[in-house]
Structure 1
């Protein structure tokens, strides 16, 4: 089995390598190729990756290349974890929206649209290269904004499934609070990527006892604290929203907060510099503790599980993924991409049925889906008017003057990545 990781020079990658090494019985990789245009980073990450495999007695071969075509040749699956424009573009995404009084964030709002516009064309080019190399290869997308990027891939006819670590993070957290194995925890996880709610937490499987009320009663303060939300929000909803719902439920508070501290991108850039220095130490043969602060917790376990199910029989039969709606949420088009529990196998992902949703959730899902339609159109066809319409449709923007100002700023800060600008 051969896997390729495009964006393999990311500081995330040792987390992924550690999972591949530990879970080799689930996903028996014979060859792993790390692909990245940044040769200097790739050398550091690749060296640590080989040492991690060696320490854990993994027999697989790890190679590196800056050539996408060479890297994906004959790969059975390709994982995408790239960031077009790097941390510098991310920092801009997190700052210029604040000038208009809107949240600055890399996957939500105006910053998220900028990232989609930069990313979708690059990902589609890579996917075409994958298809030419092996039309049967699966593409696993971890590149944000996952929902929009996955929809672009699926609409272009690629064998693709989107992946996010939010659900597995909740699963692990709830398992610790309940003192049970994560495999015993099933989430009623519903929504769009970075716009989801845990409507239930069931023990033993989809039909198991819903222990969410007990979790909220006994651990509500800790759960709300991890989300950085007022506990009253969680108690009033009676469900657990993803961290990203904070940008919707406390938008103005978040904008004020973001204006008083360094950007997350600046923090991550400093952390990456330190991590890369660590990766260059030939004595280091395991992922460093600092990596946990970088983000992407449990990404490796989720990626292994998904790849194992798509390529064989080693993964869990039911997983939270991003895939076509196909009538699961009846108020959305069939080709909308949703994030729900799905049955995953060699033929891909099939969403499991979801109970009728409260309008409180369904309305926001429908609104953001409409924005994602317009965002993808702007990413595929370009044009100032399409960018403006996407921004105007976003529920975190929604005002003419805001959308006008943000459109000008987005284009100005991303001109080098927009072929049409």
Structure 2
């Protein structure tokens, strides 16, 4: 059997069943010769392995499948590593969110101080994955989903020049699925987007259907009338996400030129967003009480039934299709067009040449080829320059072990009201992240 050899890094994640589900659904165009789940936590691996038993049974009998905590076994002889690690788990995410909110600042996993705290934890973890993959499979492609994607992408650019590393995010895909459904289309890639920004920080300027018609004016009208329809998976349709979809109309009312990425709510309405959040019960708590609990309960029922009961995997499928689509485009040199995170290199001329931007790219066997966006309006440019500066400074802080750079990064971020607040949050984050962050001097 000819096919691809894939390892899912962070195989114990609650997103893994969704990725496996998409791999199984696409075996005709992306056949598998080997599928490995790798994680540093054997209990989480066992949990996901139990949940996915009925799916794994659908693999070709000749396909090698196993789970492992050994990097050598995981990475030897692979074509693709799909990486989705979370350094410090949900417990550290909860601290990121609650420390920020203690000072009246947005508590969110990828935005503001929480995102920067998570970034300083993620960088060494992602570097370890890349070093291990390069050691055992030097030419394998690493498709990195690990958050916070913007900070991670800037760090991997500096250390590895992003050779055979592609940083991607499913949020634009989830939003485009909503757009497509509102336009009477089926799939997120039934529309070709023109989009520019940074990760979790961007704008759609056009949405072309397959006949080449720009459906943006029609879509704006529908959103202003009915609001944005929520995305169609469980991950993006629980109460906190529903609130996010509702805020979309508010952003569009204030800034009607382009359609925004939903995460812009945290920057445009930082004060109101923080006030809306419960400092004692954050998004991390919702995830732990939601999909994490679901996984554990379903795995228990499967074990008790002796494997007869099947998991309801629709609970987990947030981004599997996107990662498979991206891998196919690279593997077959399809040059399909997707929104991914790449080095600017002039595609937005006013932005730094080495900024990691999120734009449409044609994905080839040798990597992404970005579409030229051209100059962007002053408002979006100003916001992006502030945000990219904050992200670059936090990566400086990592490489230089610099407290000063970390303070500048926190102060620069649009969610933080003053340098005094930035210092208080940073000092508390340093305490909470002992053992995860480099020591800052």
After TM superposition, the score normalised by the length of structure 2 is 0.88
Aligned counterparts of 1:350 and 1:326: Cα–Cα separation in 2: 11
Change (3 A) 1:58 1:204: farther
**Structure 1 residue 173: Cα displacement:** 1.5
Pair 1:212-2:237 in alignment: no
Distance 1:230 1:151, change over 3 A: closer
Q: Which residue of 1 aligns with 2:421?
A: 402
Residue 87 of structure 1 pairs with residue 87 of structure 2: no
Bigger drift between 84-93 and 231-240 goes to: 231-240
Quick one: which of 155, 163, 167 aligns to 2:172?
Answer: 167
> Contact 1:14–1:48 at 8 Å: present in 2 too?
yes
In structure 2, the residue matched to 1:130 is: 133
Q: Distance in 1 between matches of 2:262 and 2:56?
A: 33
In structure 2, the partner of 1:199 is: 205
Mapped to 2, the partners of 1:46 and 1:102 lie a distance apart of 38
In structure 1, the partner of 2:315 is 290
What's the CA shift for 1:355? Answer: 3.8
2:23 corresponds in structure 1 to: 20
1:309 aligns with 2:329: yes
Any conservation in 2 of the 1:121–1:379 contact (CA below 8 Å)? no
Tell me if the contact between 2:20 and 2:320 (Cα under 8 Å) persists in the aligned partners.
yes
**Contact residue 22 and residue 320 of structure 2 kept, 8 A:** yes
Residue 110 of structure 2 aligns to a residue in which SS?
coil
Cα RMSD after superposing both structures: 2.0
**Equivalence for 1:143:** 146
CA contact (8 A) 2:350 2:375 kept: no
2:235 equivalent in structure 1 = none
Q: Deviations over 1:109-147 (max 9, x none)?
A: 000010011110111122011111122111111001111
How far does the alpha carbon of each residue in 1:192-241 deviate from its partner, in whole angstroms, 9 at most, with x for none?
Answer: 10001122211127xx2221111121233321876231634313422221
Cα shift at 1:411: 0.2
User: Which consecutive segments of 4 or more residues in structure 1 shift more than 6 A?
Assistant: none
Unaligned runs of 5+ in 1: none
Structure 1 residue 50 displacement after superposition: 3.7
- Partners of 2:61 and 2:146 in 1: how far apart? 27
Task: Select which of 355, 358, 361 maps to 1:342.
Answer: 361
Determine the structure 2 residue equivalent to 1:228.
246
- 1:312-331 equivalences under 5 Å are 312-313=332-333, 317-331=336-350
Alpha-carbon spacing, 1:112–1:260, altered in 2? closer, same or farther (3 Å)? closer
Shift of 1:89: 0.2
TM-score, normalization: structure 1?
A: 0.93
